[in-house]
Chain A
Amino acid sequence: MAVNDSTTRSRIKGYALLALAIIVTAVVLATGNETPRKYPHRKIVRFWHRWQGDWEKQVQKIVDAFNQSQTEYEVVAVSVPSGGSDAKFILGVIGGDPPDLMSMFSGAVPNLAANGFLAPLDSLMTPDEKARFFKDSYPSIRDIGTYKGKCYGVTIGADLMALYVNVKQLRDAGLDPDKFPKTLEELEDWGLKLNQYDKKGNLTRLGFLLNDIGYVSHYFGGGFDVKDDGRLLLNTPQNQRALETIVNYRKKLGFENVLRFQAGLNDIEGAASWAFMHGDLSITYDGQWRVEELRKFKPDLEYRVYPIPAPKEGGTPLGGLVGGNYMIVPVSAKQKKGAWEFLKFWTGLDNPDRAATFYNMGGWLPYSPAVANSPTFQKWLKKDHQFQAFLDILASPNCKAPPPIANLQFLNDLITRAEDEATRGDVTPKEALQELEDKFKEERNKRRELGYDE
């Protein structure tokens, strides 16, 4: 037995050594493969963003330009998948190890600010920068990042929508692209003329589709808003009219037919694949970043960009709802000053003309007329003159920011649901909006009971 015991002991020793070897190897491998820093002696500014593919490359160019421009900081950019970016950010802040700067979708800013996750950017600005920022910014762009009077987010890429028009398809259908409809009703007629179907009656080309009540309602003098005094502008006659117009137009096309057609579309942002490029959509509304994509990937396509025409009666032209990527600084960021320096560099608060190049790279809307009017931006605009339509909308008083409320995401979900239910025919537009308002009030009451002030 003594021999057996010694064999067992040596085996146990062997297993223990193996386990130790595994742990040591794990530790070595776990710390071995790291991307080396270019400027290891500088203060690191950790920047998380949600751009991928071609856009990630553009972002890296801006980061590189900043790193080359000075000697104190090194910005290290990390692309985070959109799907889990908010969870990663929140956990980083709660766990005490957040990035120094993050680009987040604009709808999340009020909620993160209300819950104390964000540092007010005003506190990082000098008095001169603060005065310039609040005075120079486009009002709608500034308002998105503002919560209870403080600035928590600054855009480096605001988004707006306008109509992209395929000139050839219009001409083939006997329509003059230079005499573009002045009213929404005319545009709907054009859309029906441009539709194409196969033998089974399935749509093969969509002339025009009116949807997105959150956006379109601004052309009807409406929009979904929650005022500072608590008044709700949700189930308003203007919004009802906008939703009725969407529903009636969808009925003409056939709900299922449109759904089937859209499911088969090959659409990717930031790449050479967009249904409009392939000719599947004759007139479609999309974001301003498509101008740059068309220039890069489909330079031969003849197209125009027009603001969506307002309805004949009671319409408000050049309406819109701004969204996009907003830069935020976590309250527990270690390098807030470095983050602000990079933010100034990118937005152009300190040098609008230099920053114009960055906005042009991704086809992003500038934060201020100072950037839009800079020589570099104007030069680019001559080349991509279709972009002007977006600048016209941005400068319009009818271009608005979403309401700065902590439960904005909840409201957005309700808006999407109301449109979906109404277009499916489950409820009338009036009922859908009434349900939306009731549910929002219910949620607001619940939040107030829990101690939230809105």
Chain B
Amino acid sequence: MTSDQEAKLPRLTKFAVYAALIMLSIPAILPLLWMVSTSLKTNAQIFGNGDLNLKALIPSPLETSNYPAALQNMPFLVYLRNTLLLCIFGVVGAVTSSAVVAYGFAKIEFPGRNTLFGLMIATMALPGQVTMIPIFSLFRSLGWYGSYLPLIVPAFTASAYYVFLLTQFFKTIPTEMSEAARVDGATEWRIFLQLIIPLSRPALATCALFQFIGTWNDFLGPLLYLNDPAKYTLAYGLQQFVSHYGGFFAQLMAAATIFTLPIIILFFFAQRTFIQGISTTGGK
């Protein structure tokens, strides 16, 4: 619904639409609220009342000590640094490499383009378990096992999903614009960097956000490739936290809140661009 359409709606209809949207958002928000609420309670408060009502969601008294306690029970800053490192390189690598490949598929005519595109799309159907062992063997023979390289380098080799999204988006940019630039003598690189990229910010932001969330939440990659606690990531650390402090629900939820917070903040900042990107790339 655009803002013009929204302005034309009668007040009652608008109220009904918002009420329906709020109702529909409750199932998504409730677990999040429960997580934050539990992180601010004592164990006695959590287990003391088995009733499920809104009042039970409000911590009384407010127990903020779960946060420092959770942070003390794992080297949070080390895990955060490691996770951010992987996220930053993952985002830069995935977005730049996927954009270059997508530009080729969307804007450059070459023999076998559609076949190659089809093959690339087909790789998305391969389950991770099928490629897990050969990829592991490859990285081990390269001497990368135990380092961050198996978690960083693949991001620089383009992701089929992002290439698909970006190709769809690049195709919506009129070919006449690229043609005009070509007539003016611009090279493919110049068209890509100065014309296509500036027009594709929403789609690129969407890919960046997906990659960031994917890397942030990745547990399996660090589990398989890292063997040194000094290199562990937040998702890995949280799993260890669950294994050992699973019964300390309040602390566990505090750790989960700390883990989730950056993603929520990132989404709030980037939501307009993200939604725009989703709606224009066909990723919805």
Contacts and interface: CB of A to CB of B under 8 A. Distances in A.
B243 A82 contact: yes
Interface string A38-57: 00000000101000110000
B230 A33 contact: yes
A450 interface: no
Interface stretch (B101-109, B208-216, B245-253, B263-271): B245-253
A29 B231 contact: no
Given A95-B136, A268-B248, A81 B223 contact: yes
Interface stretch (B113-121, B162-170, B186-194): B186-194
B60 interface: no
B47 A264 contact: yes
B239 interface: yes
A34 B243 contact: no
Contacts of B231: 33-34
A324 B185 CA distance: 73
A15 B193 CA distance: 10
A94 B133 CA distance: 7
A79 B75 CA distance: 14
Contacts of A35: 228-230
Contacts of A1: 184-185
Interface string B225-262: 00111110000100110011111110000000000000
Instruction: Give the contact-size bracket for chain B.
Output: 35 or more
Given A30-B148, A81-B243, A96-B140, A91 B224 contact: yes
A26 B185 CA distance: 36
Contact of A8 (B187, B220, B227): B187
Contact of B230 (A19, A34, A94): A34
B145 interface: yes
Interface in A88-106: 88, 91, 94-97
Given A1-B184, A95-B133, A268 B246 contact: yes
Nearest to A90: B133
A40 to B, nearest CB: 14
Contacts of A23: 156
Contacts of A88: 223-224
A279 to B, nearest CB: 14
A44 B224 CA distance: 20
B189 to A, nearest CB: 6
A351 interface: no
Nearest to A27: B149
Contact of B187 (A5, A91, A268, A270): A5
Contacts of A445: none
B190 A52 contact: no
B152 interface: yes
Given A84-B220, A91-B136, A97-B145, A30 B152 contact: yes
Interface of A: 1, 4-5, 8, 11-12, 15, 19, 22-23, 26-27, 29-31, 33-35, 46, 48, 52-53, 78-84, 87-88, 91, 94-97, 202, 260, 264, 266-268, 270-271, 273
Closest 4 CB pairs of A and B: A30-B148, A268-B247, A53-B244, A52-B244
Interface of B: 43, 47, 50, 78, 82, 85, 89, 92-93, 96, 132-133, 136-137, 140, 145, 147-149, 152, 156, 184-187, 189-190, 193-194, 219-220, 223-224, 227-231, 236, 239-240, 243-249
5 contacts: A19-B96, A34-B230, A87-B220, A260-B50, A266-B247
Given A22-B92, A91-B136, A202-B50, 16 more contacts: A12-B193, A22-B93, A29-B148, A30-B85, A30-B148, A31-B147, A34-B231, A78-B228, A81-B223, A84-B219, A84-B220, A88-B223, A91-B132, A95-B145, A97-B145, A273-B247
